[in-house]
Amino acid sequence: MDNMQNLNRSIQCSVFSCKHNNNQQGYCVLDKIVVGTHEPNPTDKQCADCRSFVKKNCCNG
């Protein structure tokens, strides 16, 4: 399971519903992530999304 892997101290994250989040310490466990946007012309930080997000306990592991 991802949460058993070493956390990545370069990627701090508070999205605890993501399966890649190490809930206890608030870090991502992936080596790298992809960041994108859902906006045609992003103007604020709310426009940026983690594209590596996967809902915990969802789908294919």
Residues that bind ligand SF4 (CB under 6 A): 11, 13, 15, 18, 20-21, 28, 30, 33, 50, 52-53
* DSSP structural state of residue 55: B
- What whole-number distance in Å separates Cα of residue 9 and Cα of residue 27? 6
Residue 34, helix vs strand vs coil:
coil
CB of 13 to ligand SF4, least distance (A): 3
Q: With respect to ligand SF4, which residue has the nearer C-beta, 15 or 47?
A: 15
The neighbouring-strand residues paired with 37 are: 48
Judged by beta carbon, residue 20 or residue 57, the one nearer ligand SF4 is 20
